[in-house]
Every structure is written in structure tokens, then in C-alpha cells.
Amino acid sequence: MAQTSEPLANALEERRPAMSILVRKHQMGADMVQVTMLKGDYPTELLRQQIELMPAYGTTPPRGLEIFGGAPAKTLRQAMFAVDGLLKPETGEINFEAIVKPFLGSPEPFVVDTMIVVVEGMPAVPNTTLVEHATDTVLLKGVPLGNDSIEYRISVASQDPEKVKIPTKYQPVGKPQTPTKGSSGNNRQIILIGIGVAGVIAAGALVYSLTRRR
């Protein structure tokens, strides 16, 4: 695992999550995704644009995309859809870059720099599953939930997708990391979105429960 400075790591850990993503493998093979933005007035069309960027990082185009909730009902803005290319249970790989990078590139005060990602149906396997990763631009930590799920907290120190590199699985020390398929992405993505940080981090569990109740 790459190392980052202790002050930077501490700063990233103190950030509050701006969104959560729940991913589970459907029995028919698709990756079912639920996105929850923790600000009810998150713009619907801009959320749609971000989700549609995922194929630039190695997934299929989203299918059955639905976006609902949010202001004026004062509920959380959510999106649900299916893709292929996020989870590979047979190899223990998770396409983190396709999950994280589409939401980067927004100007202040609407930056998404921390998120909770819950992966269902993929147990943490020693020396296979990525559960911790730290560089100068990324801090990722995973905590097992039961026998077959993992909750990740991911923070980034850069809004440039090209500077955010996350391997798909555990990397032995000293072994070069293989970039995610499609990680070149769209070098010019700049999306103006509205996102606020709400709630407190205590929170992995809180955010997870919010997504599961829908």
C-alpha cells in the first residue's frame, strides 16, 4: 500500500461524507447501484450527467436510471440504476475509479471529496480484496459488515481525476499498481454541481441505513 503523510491522512479522515453509494451484485450478473446525495437540493440533471460518465472508467452505460427525492420534499436525492463492470466477485476486484471519478471536478462550494461506499455480496478476502489504500491524493479504508459486505470510506485530496489512482484489488508492497480499465477517462470533465456536506461522520452506519431503507 502506498503511504501518505500523517497530517494529510488525519485531515482526510476528519472530512464528512457528502454522498453514499451502495453496490451489490444481482443474481443475473448486473451491478445494482444506489446513489444517495446528502443534500436534498442536489440538481437532478447534473447527477444524471455524472452517472453517465461512469463508462469512461470501464463500465457499461447505466441502465434503468431513475432519480428521485430531494427538494421540495426535503428528502435525500437518490438515484438507482444498473451497470456492468464495477464488481468482479470471482477475482475480488472492485472498480473504485468508476465509482469515485465521475463525481470529481466540481468547483467550491459543491465539491465531493468524501464518500461512503458499501459493497454487498463480496466478502473481504485477505491478500485479495482492497481494504486500505493511501497516497498523496486518496485515502481509502474498508470495514467488513457481516460475512459478505464491506463499507468503505473514501476521501480525495484532488479534484483532478487523472491524479486519483485506486487499484481494483490488494497490491503487495513493492508491486506496481495496475490502473483501472478506462482510467484515462475524460480529461476535461468539469461539472457544475450542487452538493453540501450534511450530518456527521458517525456515519458510515447512518448513511448505510439510509440507503437500505429505500
Evaluate whether residue 174 is within a structural domain. yes
Whether residue 43 is contained in a domain is answered as yes
Domain, as residue range, for 57: 6-212
pLDDT tens, residue by residue, 95-148: 999 999 999 987 666 779 999 999 998 888 889 999 999 999 999 999 999 889
Q: Domains in the chain: how many in total?
A: 1
Q: Tell me the pLDDT tens digit for each residue of 21-54.
A: 999 999 999 999 999 998 777 889 889 999 999 9
pLDDT digits (tens, 9 = 90+) for 45-94: 889 999 999 999 999 999 999 999 887 767 889 999 999 999 999 899 99
Which position has the grid cell 491522512?
Answer: 9
Classify residue 1: in a domain, yes or no: no
Between CA 19 and CA 155 the distance in angstroms is 11
**To the nearest whole number, what is the mean pLDDT of the chain?**
81
Instruction: Read off the pTM.
Output: 0.77
